[in-house]
Chain A
Amino acid sequence: QVQLQESGPRLVRPSETLSLTCAVSGGSVISDNWWTWVRQPPGKGLEWIGEIFHAGGTTYNPSLKSRVTISLDKSQNHVSLNLSSVTAADTSIYFCARGTYRKDFYFDLWGQGTLITVSS
């Protein structure tokens, strides 16, 4: 079965770029799915960051759009997230998720998440 696993540096300095990878195992990123990033500040709610489709389409949260880049590596079968100019407010658990379409897209599979701390 398909599994998602996030990885990347757990500590990022303020003003630097947060970079995460979501490895997709048991399936291919070249599928009829959107690959999504969601974050959750400790003790708070979920926030959608953005998503990508293998044909190249990307969509970003309007509030983060100027700082976010999501890309897809077909050879490595993973999805990447870059978030630039981070501040303490970006400290969160970051999840990757798979978007599946029926009447609308919903997130039917999630990685376990990884806590990223922004601190000097």
Chain B
Amino acid sequence: SYVLTQPPSVSVAPRQTAKITCGGNDIGGKSVHWYQQKPGQAPVVVVYDDSDRPSGIPERFSGSNSGNTATLTITRVEAGDEADYYCQVWDTTLDDRVFGGGTKLTVL
């Protein structure tokens, strides 16, 4: 099965930039989606199709995808961005929608 690898945790100071990576074999050839999940809540998509942003999501959230790594970038981080973030792709080989293990973003 296709494996997506995320760092378990990322820490960043307020107003700085956070980068959360998602590694996978030739992930650059897939569309990557990113979800934010705050404690006790359902996930919310923050970036879809590598770099598109749903309406209502701040421009501070952006995504990129190339080679074996996709990256979610959050600029000017705020306390309210503290959450778990998951990447997700469609593994066409097995017809399986795969999630990364998740990254806990801590705002110092």
Contact = CB atoms under 8 A, between A and B. Distances in A.
Contacts of B30: 104
A45 interface: yes
A113 B101 contact: no
A14 interface: no
Interface in A21-57: 36, 45-48, 51
B58 to A, nearest CB: 17
Interface residues of B, number: 27
B99 A46 contact: yes
Interface in B14-73: 30-31, 33, 35, 37, 41-45, 48-49, 52, 54
B31 A104 contact: yes
B48 A62 contact: no
B43 A110 contact: yes
A36 B35 CA distance: 15
B86 A107 contact: no
Interface in B87-108: 88, 90, 94-102
B44 to A, nearest CB: 7
A107 B35 contact: yes
B42 A112 contact: yes
Among A46, A102, A106, A112: residue with most chain B CB under 10 A? A106
Cβ-closest 9 pairs across A and B = A104-B31, A110-B42, A106-B33, A48-B97, A106-B48, A46-B99, A103-B49, A45-B102, A45-B101
19 contacts: A36-B97, A45-B86, A45-B101, A46-B102, A48-B96, A48-B97, A48-B98, A61-B96, A95-B42, A102-B52, A103-B49, A104-B49, A106-B48, A106-B49, A107-B33, A107-B35, A107-B45, A110-B42, A110-B43
Given A45-B99, A46-B37, A46-B88, 18 more contacts: A36-B97, A46-B102, A48-B96, A48-B98, A48-B99, A59-B95, A62-B1, A102-B48, A103-B31, A104-B49, A105-B90, A106-B33, A106-B48, A106-B49, A107-B33, A108-B48, A110-B42, A110-B43
